[in-house]
Structure 1
Amino acid sequence: MRKNISITFIVSAALLLASCTQQKVPFSPVDYVNPLMGTESTYAFSHGNTYPAVAVPISAVVP
């Protein structure tokens, strides 16, 4: 009887610990994107100053 209780306890503890593992975070390429790249304006590099803006493509505006 005591052996059955011990086995039940060990199996229950193993299942509990197995279910508590951390989930793997899915890979997202968006994490590597820097939307502000190229927006720094300095006098040394005064060509091509850009700013982050959101807009629809031209073909979506023209009917």
Structure 2
Amino acid sequence: DYGQDVVACVVLGGGEPLDEAKLKDFCLPKLGKVKMPTRIYFMDDLPKGPSGKVQRL
């Protein structure tokens, strides 16, 4: 509402495949509607800076 959206970037490990619907079903009871990501990006790896720490964009 104020120009900001909650977004999730997810890196899957081995095991059961996961899609956006399953992830939202898992997160909703724990986060509630207000904190629920509006977009979910599945990535191979999270971007890291020169020091090796995950970049927070």
Q: TM-score range by the shorter chain?
A: under 0.3
Greater strand fraction, Structure 1 or Structure 2: 2
Q: Which has the larger radius of gyration?
A: 1
Greater helix fraction, Structure 1 or Structure 2: 1
Asked which structure has the greater RCO (Cα within 8 Å, sep 6+), the reply is 2
**TM-score, with structure 1 as normaliser:** 0.23
